[in-house]
Amino acid sequence: MSDIESQRVLGAGIPRTGRLIDVGATYGPAIRHFQAWRLIMPVFLHVGIVHLLFNILFILHMGLDKEIKYGRSNFLMLYFSSALIGNMFTVLMRPCSLAVGASTAGFGLVGSILAEILMVWHKLDERTRNMYTLDITIFGALMILLSYGQTVDIWGHLGGFVCGVAVTCELNKNIRDLPHWFGLVKDGTRTICLGVIALTLVRVFLGLPLPMGCA
Active site residues: 103, 157
Q: Length of the chain in residues, anyone?
A: 215
- 150, 3 in Cβ contact below 8 A? yes
- Alpha carbon separation from 140 to 144, 153, 164, 165 (Å, rounded): 6, 17, 15, 15
Residue 99 DSSP class: E
- Alpha carbon separation from 186 to 84, 109, 127, 191, 192 (Å, rounded): 18, 16, 28, 9, 10
Residue 209 has φ and ψ, to the nearest 5°, of -75, -15
- Alpha carbon separation from 190 to 7, 82, 94 (Å, rounded): 32, 12, 22
- 96, 212 in Cβ contact below 8 A? yes
